[in-house]
Structure 1
Amino acid sequence: MKKSRCYFVAGLSVLLLLCGGSAVFAQGLSPVKHCTGVYVGKNLTADGSVLIGQTGDENSSHWIEAIDRQEHAKNATIEVGVDSKANYPGKRIRIPQVAETNKYITVRYTEYKGFAPPLENGGINEHQVSIVDVWSPSREELAAMTPEGQTGLTYSDEARVAMERATSAEEAVKIIGRMVEEYGHATYGGNSHLIADVNEGWFIEEFAGGQGLWVAKRLGPDDFKVIRPGWIKEVPLDYKDNPDYMGSDNLVTFAVEQGWYDPDSGKPFNVSKIYESDRDMESFGEGINPDPEKKPGHQIKTEEIEYAEKYLSEKAPEITVQDVIKLFKERPFTNRGTKYGQIAQLRADMPDELGVLWIAVGPPEDSIFVPYYSGISEVPMEFRQHRYLTKGEAMRFSLPKERQGQETTRYAYRTFDRLFMLVDEHYDAFYPELSEAFRSFEGQLFDRQDEIESIALNLIENGKTDLAKQYLTYYTNTEASKALDLAQLMAESMTSRTKLLFGIRPLPN
């Protein structure tokens, strides 16, 4: 029997912010820091979608970009890597660009120490390939091997190159692996990516140390996984000949050379025990959202992951986009540092123009997930880059005239960030009404999804693909603007009532 068209989201980079009082928080689970990745196979979703999502915590401003397909000169190059100011200092290098790069949609930001902006965690490209980034720390001895002046691609460079070049999830893994081996992985202590297309997913880890180490494992149609961080664990010794695994040639031999694995012991090669660490972000130096209550070496608890996987298992095999959004809007999967959320909905029965990335700009608990279709040509000015929290803008006295136009518009991220703070100040008073309004807005988007996609599909099937893209662009931009209008109205109302009922809390002396 054909599955009904429910709407499930698999998010590229999903970032969420949850305030106290949610079901999960009430169970005593502590807030999680840093990115969380979610994958759901197509046999477990209500409409046969592959879903991939992420919550992510990062510094600085955030904005949405629709990057066009581009042609490049024969000898074109791109600059990658970190500079001397990074926690693990490095040197930026140039690597060859391909002749033509894919169109893709992504969320960008500007700040991570020693990393050149703009940064990105992935997104969705014109072939319905989606990528999200998940922090995954390497063991301390391995991280300590990272050479001074390291070179190679950062996590952001890897995601960008894969978005630009891949036509499938497996190809994206091979591209990243090849880049790590040929040019190196410019690390901040260890990283991973969760990648999916309309059929399957892959999880790939890139290890610190400058040794070109990486490993990947396939996720199939009957799998679902919540990842934060690491996950692969046991890898067969014949991984090079196993279709469900990939990895660098030295994955096992390097561990043997270091005395971290004895091939004669009869024990499985557990890559998580051998190459990963239980360190918290603080032990990397100045990282993302340092938590003074956590000490270096803090083991990230598994209760949060167990809760999320139990939640999804109870929804399977009829998981929907709304289910994933609900999970992402609960603590502990969002916190003060969560800056945006994105969920990619990847469908084999739809043209690639109808691949969709649901994005919540700003803390997702207090934001609205809007569908951004692969076929759109642009996003509203209000959702593009602005000065607020952008790296380097504090040093600029004024903008050059050619940059003033876009800056005159409202900034969506600033609006939703402000709304989060208003709600967080007086949660019990304001969150119920905000939750009801935003849930209703998202509900209308899901109710209309069939109608919108049917119109676009009809245009494509009748040879009017360009018109379909214009229609999708108009629809997405209209709904994103409506979402921003609603957020601003609620922020103004809450500001007035805060002044009247509670007063505005001033900065401490």
Structure 2
Amino acid sequence: MAFDRRRELAWMLTLGVMMPAGFAQADTLSPGEMGHPNQKSIGIYVGSELTEGGSTYLAGFGHEPSSHWLEIIPRQQHPEGATWQVGVTDQARIPGELIDIPQVSTTYKYISSSYSEFAGFPPPLTNGGLNEKGVAARDIWAPSRPELVEMSEDAAEQTPQTGPQYSDLAKAAMERASSAREAVEIIGGLIDEHGFSTYGGNSHLIADAEEGWVFINFAGGQGLWAAERLGADQIRVSYPGYIHDFPADPGQSDDYMASDNFVDFAIEQGWWDGEGDYFNVQETYGQAFPAEDPGDFYPAFYTEARNPPALERELEEMGPLTLEDMLAYVRDPRWSTDFSGYGQVAELRPETHPELQSLWVAVTSAITTPFVGIPIGAEDVPPEFKQHRYMTKDADSHFLDPDYGPLEATRYATRTFKRLLYHTCEHPRDFLHPVTGEIETFERQLLDERGEVEAQALELFEAGDDAQARQFITTRTAEHLLASLELGEDLVRDVERQTRETYGIRMPEGDVAEGETAPATSQPMARHGWGAMIHCYADELDEYPRQHGQYAESSLD
């Protein structure tokens, strides 16, 4: 049957399997099914007992082929009866329908990396960030077992799926939670009450200064979810998100939570025999790690890194971990590629004024983008770091609305750092070390200045001048962001000049069809979809993980 064949091919894409020779995606799959292997994002939790200064870290990024920008969403009050729209549309790979659900009276302030594209998921989208209560969150793919995905697909043939999707849940955690545990209770409660719109399985990694939680929400339309507490002495890498041992009676422990049907459904399906006090959630409800079943969709170095326990051991051996370690780890070219839409490291420090807790953000892929610390007390970011038309969903369908003219007229930081990425990754042996050296020298300067900046802000807070303190933080944050952009523009200018002088600018070969006259430079630029990847990884160039700042003496001159 035609639908079954499309579903089979879509599932091959989800698993990261190469398409059959001669297969034309656009002729066979709908936009929601086309070219989306759902292997997205990385999340890293490091408990406070394993860090040099007692901070808790939550780090990572998302994978999205779209625009990215920074937002500081303010605390807001909502009238009684207010609602917000959640879910996915009929353009999603598993079709859905948007619904309205009740909004809470107060939503908290938070910092987010926003983006515009995931088929059928209305923008703006978020994977989390850091909120005013010191709660950080990351969203990470976590593929459910094929039977569960098929259940969702079969049900969607009759009735579109409804309920919040991954971005809605991440947003709810940021807007409503005052602790990591409460975030789990909130997003689990939303699924219990309204259902879940899935693309095939997902997870969240959530932390506050005391603990972390990993939360897995499964496909299948059964409202299945489970959560495991992570202590201050633990490291968890979600790449993808996973839970292994889970109690048969989760209600008897404060370290676990789950939907009411989570254990019984596994037994009913014959996926677990019900014997013993624990069962393995990934083996029961999930899939093998990509490194265990790599296929040949992605480059080998990229797939081989997708082994969470191995990365956890790697981080343990590096300990005690510092903020600089985390910045360098998110920047690691084994996963920081053109696919990584941004970089984030939430640094949750003990005994720190709440408005000085910071999210370190690289506005796009950290391989060629500086991290800048943004305290939650900051009220805005410069227009250069906000939404622009470059790679934004449907930006080419209309002329620019005059309301957005002044914003669009500013430089766009994401575009600058993407240019730097493409030039650097074309010749990484020439440029990766000096570009990284300049970026990490800049980051160390920010860290050197932080004590003085925070002391001035804290003095204002303690004097009761909260508004002035926030204005001071906002001004200094803007200065740091704009300085990072100036650095990016200087670097891309130097790298482009040297590329022209040494190699020239390589032009695309394109795909020439019989009878076609359009040159390659006018042909589609994303013709290979998710099977193509620009990256800076080069064999024998470096050993990873590496120390932050080790290329400080490297120069482009």
Which TM-score tier does this pair reach, normalised by the shorter chain? 0.7 to 0.9
Map 1:395-474; keep pairs closer than 5 Å. 395-396=397-398, 398-474=399-475
Larger mean Cα displacement after TM superposition, 41-50 or 84-93: 41-50
SS of equivalent residue, structure 1 residue 479: helix
Contact 2:71 / 2:381 at 8 angstroms: preserved in 1? yes
Structure 1 position 42 matched with structure 2 position 48:
yes
- Residues 252 and 78 of structure 1: CA distance in aligned 2, closer, same or farther (over 3 Å): same
Give the structure 1 partner of residue 282 of structure 2. 272
Contact 1:308 / 1:327 at 8 angstroms: preserved in 2? no
Larger mean Cα displacement after TM superposition, 304-313 or 93-102: 304-313
What amino acid does structure 2 have at the position aligned with 1:491?
V
Give the structure 1 partner of residue 349 of structure 2. 347
Contact 2:337 / 2:367 at 8 angstroms: preserved in 1? no
What amino acid does structure 2 have at the position aligned with 1:355?
Q
Distance 1:203 1:137 in 2: 14
1:425: how far off? 1.1
- Residues 48 and 471 of structure 1: CA distance in aligned 2, closer, same or farther (over 3 Å): same
Q: RMSD value over aligned CA atoms?
A: 2.0
What amino acid does structure 1 have at the position aligned with 2:179?
S
Distance 1:129 1:268 in 2: 29
Give the structure 2 partner of residue 324 of structure 1. 326
What amino acid does structure 1 have at the position aligned with 2:311?
A
Structure 1 position 108 matched with structure 2 position 111:
no
1:306: how far off? 4.7
- Residues 355 and 320 of structure 1: CA distance in aligned 2, closer, same or farther (over 3 Å): same
Q: Please, which of 141, 159, 167 is the counterpart of residue 135 of structure 1?
A: 141
Give TM-score, length-normalised by structure 2: 0.80
Map 1:48-197; keep pairs closer than 5 Å. 48-146=54-152, 147-148=155-156, 149-197=160-208
Q: Deviations over 1:36-90 (max 9, x none)?
A: 1111111111221111011321110000000011111111100000011100001
1:313: how far off? 1.4
Contact 1:54 / 1:133 at 8 angstroms: preserved in 2? no
SS of equivalent residue, structure 2 residue 62: strand
Give the structure 1 partner of residue 487 of structure 2. 486
Give the structure 2 partner of residue 311 of structure 1. 314
Distance 1:160 1:234 in 2: 28
What amino acid does structure 1 have at the position aligned with 2:223?
G
Distance 1:160 1:130 in 2: 11
Q: Size of the alignment, in residue pairs?
A: 464
Larger mean Cα displacement after TM superposition, 430-439 or 192-201: 430-439
Give the structure 2 partner of residue 294 of structure 1. 297
SS of equivalent residue, structure 2 residue 396: helix
Distance 2:497 2:434 in 1: 15
Runs of 4+ in 1 over 4 A off after TM superposition: 299-304
Distance 1:52 1:309 in 2: 13
Percentage of pairs with the same residue: 42
Give the structure 1 partner of residue 335 of structure 2. 333
Give the structure 1 partner of residue 500 of structure 2. 499
- Residues 437 and 360 of structure 1: CA distance in aligned 2, closer, same or farther (over 3 Å): same
Distance 2:61 2:104 in 1: 31
1:226: how far off? 1.5
Distance 2:183 2:289 in 1: 28
1:280: how far off? 6.3
1:34: how far off? 2.6
1:315: how far off? 3.1
Give the structure 1 partner of residue 217 of structure 2. 206
Contact 1:230 / 1:272 at 8 angstroms: preserved in 2? no
Q: Deviations over 1:342-400 (max 9, x none)?
A: 0101123012101100001121111100001101110010000000000011111x212
Give TM-score, length-normalised by structure 1: 0.88
Give the structure 1 partner of residue 4 of structure 2. none
Give the structure 1 partner of residue 271 of structure 2. 260
- Residues 280 and 152 of structure 1: CA distance in aligned 2, closer, same or farther (over 3 Å): farther
Instruction: State the structure with more CA Rg.
Output: 2
Give the structure 2 partner of residue 232 of structure 1. 243
What amino acid does structure 2 have at the position aligned with 1:359?
V
What amino acid does structure 2 have at the position aligned with 1:232?
I
- Residues 400 and 331 of structure 1: CA distance in aligned 2, closer, same or farther (over 3 Å): closer
1:319: how far off? 1.2
SS of equivalent residue, structure 2 residue 223: coil
Contact 2:39 / 2:240 at 8 angstroms: preserved in 1? no
Distance 2:305 2:444 in 1: 31
Q: Please, which of 209, 216, 227 is the counterpart of residue 227 of structure 2?
A: 216
Larger mean Cα displacement after TM superposition, 33-42 or 63-72: 33-42
Contact 1:80 / 1:94 at 8 angstroms: preserved in 2? yes
Q: Please, which of 357, 360, 369 is the counterpart of residue 358 of structure 1?
A: 360
1:240: how far off? 1.3
Distance 1:258 1:305 in 2: 27
Larger RCO (alpha carbons 8 Å, 6+ apart): 1
SS of equivalent residue, structure 2 residue 407: helix
Contact 2:117 / 2:393 at 8 angstroms: preserved in 1? yes
Q: Deviations over 1:12-50 (max 9, x none)?
A: xxxxxxxxxxxxxxxxxxxx9631111111111122111
1:341: how far off? 0.3
Distance 1:231 1:136 in 2: 7
Larger mean Cα displacement after TM superposition, 130-139 or 429-438: 429-438
Contact 1:230 / 1:276 at 8 angstroms: preserved in 2? no
- Residues 302 and 491 of structure 1: CA distance in aligned 2, closer, same or farther (over 3 Å): closer
1:307: how far off? 4.8
Distance 2:290 2:171 in 1: 26
Contact 2:49 / 2:233 at 8 angstroms: preserved in 1? yes
Distance 2:44 2:209 in 1: 15
SS of equivalent residue, structure 2 residue 346: strand
1:196: how far off? 0.4
Distance 1:338 1:261 in 2: 36
Contact 1:133 / 1:193 at 8 angstroms: preserved in 2? yes
Distance 2:229 2:437 in 1: 38
- Residues 87 and 279 of structure 1: CA distance in aligned 2, closer, same or farther (over 3 Å): farther
Distance 1:139 1:479 in 2: 45
Contact 2:204 / 2:241 at 8 angstroms: preserved in 1? no
Larger mean Cα displacement after TM superposition, 383-392 or 492-501: 492-501
What amino acid does structure 1 have at the position aligned with 2:495?
M
Distance 1:461 1:78 in 2: 37
- Residues 423 and 33 of structure 1: CA distance in aligned 2, closer, same or farther (over 3 Å): farther
1:292: how far off? 8.9
Gaps of 5+ in 1: 1-31, 284-290
What amino acid does structure 1 have at the position aligned with 2:317?
E
Contact 1:200 / 1:218 at 8 angstroms: preserved in 2? yes
